[in-house]
Amino acid sequence: MKFIPLLATLTLSLVAVPAAAPLGAAETSNHVGVGAEPVEGAEVILDGTRDMLDEKWTYWEGPRFGSSLPIKWKIVPDPVDGGTCLMTDDRAADGGKYGAADIVTKKPYRDFRLHIEFLISKPGGNSGVYLQNRYEIQVLDGDKTKHGMAAVINETESPYDAYNGVGKWNAYDLVFRAARFKDGELVEKPEVTMYFNGQKVHVRQKINKVWGGPNSGVDGGNDNGFGITDTPQGLKLQCEGHDVRYRNAWIKELDLDDGNTNF
C-alpha cells in the first residue's frame, strides 16, 4: 500500500532535474548499471536466446574473417544469476585474431543509447564493444592504460576502479552521436558519454579515428583510420578466443542533431 506514494515522490524528484540531456532523468536514474531494464522505445538485441542471436546478429565479414554461418558463439548458462547468456566462443579467433569471428547487428545505427552487460571468465580475458563497428569500448581484464578496460580505446584513460572484476557482471551504458558530414567532408567528430557500472566515466568524449587497422572495424584501413565514412553501421562484439560473456543488451535510436551526448 505504501508503494504508490513512494513512486509519486520519486517521480516528482525526477521531474525537478533540469532537462538538458537527450534522455529523461528517469532513464538515467533507473536504467543504468547491471540488471538495468530497457528504456521506453528501446530494442532488445541480446536476451540470452539462440533465436534472438540468429535473428538480429551476423558475422562481420571483414578482411580477416575466418568463420562461417551459423554463428559459432554459444548460448551458455549465466554463471552468476542463472538463465542464459552469450559466450564469445569461436575457434577461428584463437590467438587473438580479432576480426576473424566478430559478430555485428544486422541493423545499422546512427545515434543511439546503448546498454550492454559483460562478464570476463578468466584473468586477461579480452573482447570489445564497437560503436558503429568502428569505435571500440575496450573489454580487457588487467589493463588500466588507454588501451584498457572501459577506455574509449587509445582516446581516454581506463576507469578501471569502476570494474567489478573477473567472474562478475559489468555494465556499459552510453549515448553515442555519429560523426557529421557536410558536402562529403567530416565537420564534427563522433562523440560518446558513458557510465561504467553506474559511474559516469566519459563525458562528451570526442573520438578522433578508428583504431586497430582494417581488421578491427569499418574504415580502419582508410587513411590510417582517419578516413571515416558517412554510413551508419551495426553494433559489433569482438571475439579474440577468450571466454567473455554478454547479456541484457538493448539499444534505442536517437536523433542528436544538437550535438550533446551528456545524460
Residue 99 to residue 64: CA distance in whole angstroms: 6
Sheet order of strands, 135-140 included? 57-59, 103-105, 236-237, 126-131, 135-140
pTM, entire model: 0.89
Q: State residue 159's pLDDT score.
A: 98
Kindly list the structural domains of the chain, giving each domain's residue range(s) and its CATH number in brackets, ordered by start.
Answer: 31-254 (2.60.120.560)
- Would you give per-residue pLDDT tens digits along the chain (263 residues)? 433 333 333 333 333 333 334 455 545 567 899 999 999 999 999 999 999 999 999 999 999 999 999 999 999 999 999 999 999 989 999 999 999 999 999 999 999 999 999 999 999 999 999 999 999 999 999 999 999 999 999 999 999 999 999 999 999 999 999 999 999 999 999 999 999 999 999 999 999 999 999 999 999 999 999 999 999 999 999 999 999 999 999 999 999 998 899 99
Q: State residue 95's pLDDT score.
A: 95
Q: State residue 247's pLDDT score.
A: 98
In sequence order, the 6+-apart residues with CB closer than 8 A to the CB of 215 are 62, 63, 64, 98, 99
Residue 166 to residue 53: CA distance in whole angstroms: 24
Q: Would you say the C-alpha torsion 235, 115, 153, 239 has a positive or negative sign?
A: negative
Contact 135, 261 (CB under 8 A): no
